[in-house]
């Protein structure tokens, strides 16, 4: 069997699609939010990065498409506004 037949996402339509079966992934994203938020806050408090890249390497369809990235962007915004020396920016 070829790799492309094994390692692929189901399309965004239908009963067996990722879009219809991704509630577990959303729950995990939500459960790990405090860990990610703490890591981002510590990053800004300790290193004052000039830039930060966030990449979503998940499925490009369904309700979770930008959920993880949007949560991380919120955490970065909160970290930047609550970190001492935020005038550094």
Spatial separation of the C-alpha atoms in residues 75 and 79, rounded to whole Å: 6
The domains of the chain are located at 23-88
Mean pLDDT for the chain?
A: 77
pLDDT over 70 (residue 22): yes
Residues 29, 68 contacting (CB under 8 angstroms): yes
48-89 confidence digits (pLDDT tens): 888 888 887 766 666 777 888 888 889 888 888 876 654 444
Return the pLDDT at 32.
92
Q: Is the pLDDT of residue 12 over 50?
A: yes
Q: How does 11-35 read in b/e, with b if 16+ C-beta sit within 10 Å?
A: eeeeeebbbeebeebeeebeeeeee
d(CA 1, CA 52): 40
């Amino acid at each position: 069997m070829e790799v492309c037949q094994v390692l692929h996402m189901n399309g965004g339509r239908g009963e067996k699609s990722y879009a219809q079966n991704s509630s577990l992934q959303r729950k995990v994203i939500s459960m790990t939010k405090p860990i990610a938020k703490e890591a981002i806050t510590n990053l800004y408090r300790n290193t004052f990065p000039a830039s930060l890249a966030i990449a979503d390497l998940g499925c490009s369809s369904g309700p979770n498409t930008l959920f993880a990235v949007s949560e991380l962007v919120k955490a970065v915004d909160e970290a930047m506004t609550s970190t001492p020396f935020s005038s550094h920016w």
